Amino acid sequence: MSQRKYFGTDGIRGRVGERPITPEFMLHLGWAAGQAFKRKGQHNSVLIGKDTRLSGYMFESALEAGLSAAGVDVKLLGPMPTPAIAYLTRTFRASAGIVISASHNPHHDNGIKFFSPAGTKLDDALESEIERWLDTPIQVCEPNELGKASRVDDAPGRYVEFCKSTVPNEFTLDGMHIVLDCAHGATYHVAPKVFQELGAQLTVIGAKPDGLNINLNVGSTHLDALKQMVAEKKADLGIAFDGDGDRVLMVDQDGSEVDGDELLYILASQRHSEGRLHGGVVGTLMTNLGVELALRDLGIEFERASVGDRYVMERLLANNWLVGGEGSGHMVIRDCTSTGDGIVSALQVLLAVRRSGKTMAELRQGMRKLPQKMINVRVAQRFDPHSRADIVDAMRSAEAELGDAGRILLRASGTEPLIRVMAEGRNAEDIRRVVEQLALVVEQSTP
């Protein structure tokens, strides 16, 4: 991956009001993106969608103005899940899709993601091209060439129908009571319709966004409210999305969390049993070793990609495989959609549950997660931990201590100023001690 100034593993992200998350930068970004798309021969229109953050209005207007100044037409979708923008970019044959969202982060953060005409994340080369145009002063095109803007009023209905189309016509959720947590985010108005129209009895929480409460004690990063409601309602299971709807985690009928690694195992093992897996499975450097071992026992090949659903997709495409994902709940199912999609992924898990005749708790039993511990060390600015000799020496000592019984991973977060220190293995006490020692070295080495 090439070094870029603004783009991380999942677009551009930061605190609102601090560069680059300012109206001035977004105006320039819209213009720069418009220039890059035009030079690539993509000059139809660009879709803009957003999650429910209050700052989304401000950045939507700035991006719209920048694109118009570059001579690019804009279609405004309003609050929509990130994967919905990917889907609609494809169906509108648009030049690109832009999402204004900081995903699972609090309301005071925001960010930008781009989608290609194929509904996939932009490649590194095009992101670098956009950054080059950001170094160029804005030059407004001729007045008669300015881009026009319009709103797409039927976007939610289009996406609801798409989600339902990813499961067989005979599939229903009749008789199933589901608690749905929409994180006060972008799925609040579409996810309940999808599951209700498929026949589920629903209890919905986290579906009253006010611009400031996105991800606040709800959603896939805060499962306590969902666990409590599943128990209170005696529901069959719970489903939690993150703020922009590209991640999903679940809670089984016993109130136990089912994370992305376990969902990946459930999907892969059930598809394998039906002959629908078509190849291996892609995880990431963070995927629990237990997933790899359980899939190996089933004769399923497993490969690790860099962290980020775009890199999972790259390896799936390279291998012509269908299923991949991350422990955070980013699932990529290539024969259903072109990017991580929380609603579609949840439907695929429910399809596996229905077809197997087992509960989700029973389906996950084939995979035993190994003890894993991660400490996030906050830093003033991101840096590559492998570039520091003292950190590398400490990591090698830890690896020698664990031997073949575990593994260690150090990486800078692509979305936050954090260094992630992770280890996993068969002995939980050894893992805890190693991670704490290594995290201390990273903290002391922070510039």
Which residues lie closer than 8 Å to 395 by C-beta, 6 or more apart?
408, 410, 438
For residue 210, the Cα-to-chain-centroid distance in whole angstroms is 22
> What pLDDT does 1 receive?
41
50 forms beta bridges with: 79, 100
Q: Select which of 45, 101, 103, 345 is catalytic.
A: 103
Matching residue, tokens 């510039």: 447
Q: What is the CATH number of domain 12-154?
A: 3.40.120.10
Between CA 198 and CA 300 the distance in angstroms is 31
Q: What are phi and psi of 163, to 5 degrees?
A: -60, -45
All CATH 3.30.310.50 domain ranges of the chain, comma separated, are: 372-445
Fold of the domain spanning 372-445: TATA-Binding Protein (3.30.310)
pLDDT in tens, the chain (447 residues): 446 789 977 789 999 999 999 999 999 999 999 999 988 776 679 999 999 999 999 999 999 999 999 999 999 999 999 999 999 999 999 999 999 999 999 999 999 999 999 999 888 899 999 999 999 999 999 999 999 999 999 999 999 999 999 999 999 999 999 999 999 999 999 999 999 999 999 999 999 999 999 999 999 999 999 999 999 999 999 999 999 999 999 999 999 999 999 999 999 999 999 999 999 999 999 899 899 989 999 999 999 999 888 889 999 999 999 999 999 999 999 999 999 999 999 999 999 999 999 999 999 999 999 998 999 999 988 889 999 999 999 999 999 988 877 889 998 887 778 999 999 988 899 999 999 999 999 998 876
**CA–CA distance, 115 with 119 (Å, rounded to integer):** 5
Q: Which residues contact 370 (CB under 8 A, 6 or more apart)?
A: 288, 289, 290, 293, 406, 424, 425, 426
Q: How many Å apart are CA 308 and CA 413, to the nearest integer?
A: 10
d(CA 242, CA 328): 10
CATH 3.40.120.10 residue spans of the chain: 12-154, 176-257, 259-341+352-366
Q: What is the CATH number of domain 176-257?
A: 3.40.120.10
Q: Are 327 and 259 in contact (CB under 8 A)?
A: yes
CB-hemisphere CA count at 13 Å for 381? Answer: 3
The answer to whether 103 is a known catalytic residue is yes
Contact 129, 6 (CB under 8 A): no
Dist. CA 83–CA 239, nearest whole Å:
17
CA dist 222 and 202 (Å) reads 20
Residues 6+ apart with CB under 8 A from 95: 37, 42, 43, 44, 45, 46, 72, 117
Q: Name every residue whose Cβ is closer than 8 Å to that of residue 433 and which is 6 or more positions away in sequence.
A: none
Phi/psi at 217 (5° precision): 60, 20
State which fold the 259-341+352-366 domain adopts: Alpha-D-Glucose-1,6-Bisphosphate; Chain A, domain 3 (3.40.120)
